Amino acid sequence: MANHDLETLARLHALLDLTRGVRDEHDMDAVLEAVAATVAETLGYRAVVVNLYRPAFGDFVVTTVHDYSPEAHQRLLGSAGGWESWEPLLDDRFERRGAHFVPAGEYDWTDDLLSYTPDIEVRADDPDAWHPDDALFVILHHASGHILGILSVDEPISGRRPTDEELDVLVALAEHASLAVQSAQEAAAAARHSRSLDSLLRVSSTLNETLATDAVLHAVADGIARSLGFAKVSIDLPDPASGILVPRSTIGWSPADQARNMPISTDRLGRLLEAQFEVQGCYLLPEAEAMARLPADHRSYVSVNNGQGEVAWNRHWLIVPLRDRQGQITGVIWVDDPIDRLLPSEDSLQVLRVFANQAAASLDSAAHFEEVRFLAEHDPLTGLLNRRAFTRQLGVETARSGRYHRPFALVLLDLDGFKQLNDAHGHLAGDRALTRIGELLVGSIRSSDMAFRIGGDEFALLLPETDEEEVRAAVDRIAAGLERASELRALEASFGVSVFPHDGQEPERLFRAADEAMYSAKRCGERVHFAA
C-alpha cells in the first residue's frame, strides 16, 4: 500500500475517532472542520465548504468554510438556502460518477448570494484547466438515505478539472465524511438523551425528599425545560370547584404569554387526547387539529420557535396528562417552543412521559400526606382543627404577637344543655348539633381567625389583632346563630375571653385565664366574661 493511501486511512480513522467524543451540537463544529480539512488535504483542494441540512428549516446552512479567503468566510459562513437554490446545481445533467460538476458557463453565478467566485487565473488555452466559475459538489447521505448536507470543493491544487478516477475518490471520501457527520449527530442525540435521563434521576431523588406540591411541580417543570430543551413548560392543576386548569408551576412563561391562553377545563382537555395523536403517552397535535376540537372563540398562545421542514415544530401543541391511580386526570403538562425548533423524538417523548409519571405519583403522595396531616390536625366530626392543632397554634400566635407587639384574643366556649340534648334525643342528635356549631363558628369569624374543637362540647377561637369590641361582636354573632338554628335552640354557650399580653404572655397562662373566665360566665349567668 502506498504512503499516500496509508496517510488517507490514518486521516479517516482520526476523523471517525473525533466523532466519538461528540457531546452536543457545539462539538459538531470540530467534526465538520475535520471533515473539510481531511477532504482538502487528501484530495488536494484549497477550499472546502460544508453545507449542513437543517431539518427544522428544510434548508442548508454553511457551517464550515475551510481555507477560503477572509472575504469568502465573511460572505459564506452562516448563509442559508433552501432546496430551491440547490436544485438547479444538482440537476441530473451535471451528475458525474456520484458527484455534481457544474462547468463554467452552465450556470449564471452573478446574482447567487450563496456563492463565491475565487480570484484565480482563467486558462482559456486549456479545456481541462479549472475555471473560477467551475463548481463541484457531493451530496452527503445518511445511511437511511436522507440528505445530511452538501460538500463543495474548489480551487484544486493541480489547477485542473477532476478526472473520473478523482471523482470516484471524492465520492468515496464523501461517504466517509457522511459517516462522520451521521456519527457525530447520533452521538450528540445520545448525549442529549443521556443528560435527560440523568436529569430525570436527579429530579426523582428531589421528589423523594419532599411532599410539598409546589416543590414537586417546580422540580418537574425545571427538569423538563433543562433536559429536554423546551423554552416554555407549564404544569396546570384543576380548580376543585370549576375543573378549570390553573397554572401552578411555570418555566419561561411571561404574564403576557399566559394572558393569551383562555382557560380550559379538564372535560375539554379530554377532547384533545385522541389516540391518533398519542406518542409514548404524550399527545402531539398540529395547531389546526387542536383548535378544531375547542370552541371557535378559543384563544391560545402561538409558538415562536417554529421551523419549516417536515420534522419541524410549527405551532404544535404537546400535552401530557397527569392521572391518578384510577385513571382520572389530575393535571396536565404543557410544553412549547423547543429550542431546536424540531418535533421531539420518541426518546424525548418517552422521557417526558416518565417526568409526568413522576409528577403524578408525587402529587398522589403529596395529596395522601396532606390527607393524613389533615386527619391528624382536624376533628373528624366537625372538620374544625383539633386540640393538638390548637396547642401548637396558640404557641405560634403567642410568639408572633410578642415579636411584633400585636394583641390577640383567645375565646373558649362550651355548650350549656348539651348533655340533656344527648340524653333526650341520642348521640346522633348530639353529633348533628356539634357539626352545626362548627359551621356556625366558621361562618361567624374572619378569614384570619381560627376555630377549634378542643373537647366534647368545648370549642376555642383565636382572633389575631382583635380588641374587646370586636370580640363581643363575634360572640354576639355566634349567640344569634344559636338562637336562629332550630336544632340548637335547646343549647346556650358560655364564653370566656383572655387577651394577649394583658392577661398573659405564655400560652398556658392565657388558656388558664380564658378557662377561668368561661366558668365565671357560667356561674354568673353571663354570656361572655373577660379575664380580670
CA distance to 66, 123, 134, 167, per residue, from 16 (Å): 19, 39, 30, 22
Query: Is 360 found in the same domain as 276?
Result: yes
Of 189, 224, 245, the one marking the end of a domain is 189
Query: Is 177 found in the same domain as 118?
Result: yes
Query: Is 221 found in the same domain as 162?
Result: no
Query: Is 116 found in the same domain as 8?
Result: yes
Q: What is the pLDDT of residues 123-144, one digit of tens each?
A: 877 888 999 889 999 999 998 8
CA 213, CA 370: separation in Å to the nearest integer?
10
Of 157, 189, 221, the one marking the end of a domain is 189
Q: What is the pLDDT of residues 323-344, one digit of tens each?
A: 887 888 889 999 999 999 999 9
Query: Is 441 found in the same domain as 357?
Result: no
Give the CATH number, domain containing residue 102: 3.30.450.40
Task: Provide the β-strand partners of residue 95.
Answer: 100
The residue assigned the cell 417523548 is 349
Of 189, 218, 249, the one marking the end of a domain is 189
Domain that holds residue 414: 387-530
Are 203 and 186 contacting, i.e. CB atoms less than 8 angstroms apart? no
Average pLDDT value for residue range 281-303: 94
Query: Is 228 found in the same domain as 174?
Result: no
Query: Is 33 found in the same domain as 180?
Result: yes
CA 153, CA 33: separation in Å to the nearest integer?
13
- 92 in catalytic set: no
Whether 200 is in a domain gets the answer: no
Query: Is 36 found in the same domain as 151?
Result: yes
Q: How many CB atoms lie within 10 A of CB 250?
A: 19
DSSP collapsed to 3 states, 101-131: EECCCCCCCCCCCCCCCCCCCCCCCCCCECC
* pLDDT for position 2: 46
Query: Is 394 found in the same domain as 328?
Result: no
Give the number of domains in the chain: 3
Whether 380 is in a domain gets the answer: no
Amino acid at 468: E
Secondary structure (DSSP) of 421-442: HHHHH-HHHHHHHHHHHHHHHH
Query: Is 124 found in the same domain as 20?
Result: yes
Query: Is 400 found in the same domain as 321?
Result: no
Whether 304 is in a domain gets the answer: yes
Whether 204 is in a domain gets the answer: no
Q: What is the pLDDT of residues 221-232, one digit of tens each?
A: 988 998 889 999
β-pairing verdict for 329-338 and 135-141: unpaired
Side-chain-side CA neighbours of residue 300 (13 Å): 18
Whether 513 is in a domain gets the answer: yes
Handedness of CA 271, 275, 279, 285 (dihedral sign): negative
Q: What is the pLDDT of residues 140-169, one digit of tens each?
A: 999 888 899 999 999 999 999 999 998 998
Whether 432 is in a domain gets the answer: yes
Whether 20 is in a domain gets the answer: yes
Mean pLDDT (the chain, rounded): 85
Q: Which of 333, 337, 340, 339 is nearest to 354 (CA)?
A: 333
Peptide bond into 501 cis (omega under 30): yes
Whether 381 is in a domain gets the answer: no
Active-site entry in 154, 336, 379, 457: 457
Q: How many CB atoms lie within 10 A of CB 228?
A: 25
Query: Is 347 found in the same domain as 417?
Result: no
Give the CATH number, domain containing residue 498: 3.30.70.270
